[in-house]
């Protein structure tokens, strides 16, 4: 028996894919909607002439518009009442509890890095200090500002420093010892 050569025989030609049927239902619904919209517009075309919108100037037989009535006088009560009112606010006196606020902007192992941050803060116009501190994990060099009498003063300086790109400053209730 002879062997058949399937490779030399080639492939059978592919049949073109069948065309999808025309979507008659969509065409009919679209035409119905367009027709309904056209009918709706046709029915309301004369209604704009018969209705008088609020605020439109009415025409007199001579063709001149009628003058508008004067607006009503408004009576504002608060104009007379407010000058006679007083507001009392209880503001507690600032007590000096001995609380001092310090702001730390960085803590470095290398003193040159601490001095670099101190110089960047000096460009803002603020004076900072580099304080060494010894702890259980070695010596650190902290860049601090203060002491401040009020936390609000420290917040103001922190916002000025933040504008230069230093975002690591923290405000704490600290003791300098």
Please report, to the nearest 10 degrees, the dihedral formed by the alpha carbons of residues 60, 63, 65, 66 taken in order: -20
Neighbours of 161 (CB within 10 A): 23
Q: Which tens digit of pLDDT belongs to each residue from 73-127?
A: 888 888 788 887 888 888 776 665 667 899 999 999 999 999 999 999 999 999 9
Q: With residue 147 as reference, give the H or E element that holds it.
A: strand 138-148
Whether the CB-CB separation of 147 and 102 falls below 8 Å is answered with yes
Residue 20 lies in a domain: no
Residue 109 lies in a domain: yes
Report the length, in residues, of the chain: 177
Can you give the pTM of this predicted structure?
A: 0.46
pLDDT of residue 111: 95
Domain span at residue 111? Answer: 101-173
Domain count along the chain: 1
Neighbours of 122 (CB within 10 A): 11
Residue 19 lies in a domain: no
Residue 79 lies in a domain: no
Residue 163 lies in a domain: yes
pLDDT above 80: residue 61: no
CATH number of the domain where residue 148 is located: 3.30.70.1070
Whether the CB-CB separation of 133 and 139 falls below 8 Å is answered with yes
Residue 40 lies in a domain: no
Residue 73 lies in a domain: no
């Amino acid at each position: 028996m002879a062997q058949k050569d399937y490779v030399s025989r080639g492939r059978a030609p592919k049949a073109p894919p069948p065309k999808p049927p025309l979507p008659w239902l969509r065409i009919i619904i679209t035409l119905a909607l367009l027709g309904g919209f056209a009918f709706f517009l046709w029915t309301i075309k004369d209604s704009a002439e018969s209705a008088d919108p609020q605020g439109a100037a009415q025409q007199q037989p001579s063709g001149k518009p009628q003058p508008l009535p004067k607006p009503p006088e408004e009576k504002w009560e608060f104009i007379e009442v407010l000058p006679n009112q007083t507001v009392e606010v209880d503001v507690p006196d600032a007590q000096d509890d001995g609380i001092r606020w310090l702001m730390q902007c960085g803590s470095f192992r290398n003193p040159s890095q601490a001095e670099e941050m101190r110089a960047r803060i000096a460009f803002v116009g603020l004076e900072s200090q580099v304080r060494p501190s010894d702890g259980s994990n070695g010596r650190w060099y902290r860049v601090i500002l203060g002491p401040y009498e009020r936390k609000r003063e420290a917040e103001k300086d922190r916002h000025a420093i933040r504008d230069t790109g230093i975002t690591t400053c923290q405000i704490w209730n600290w003791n300098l010892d």
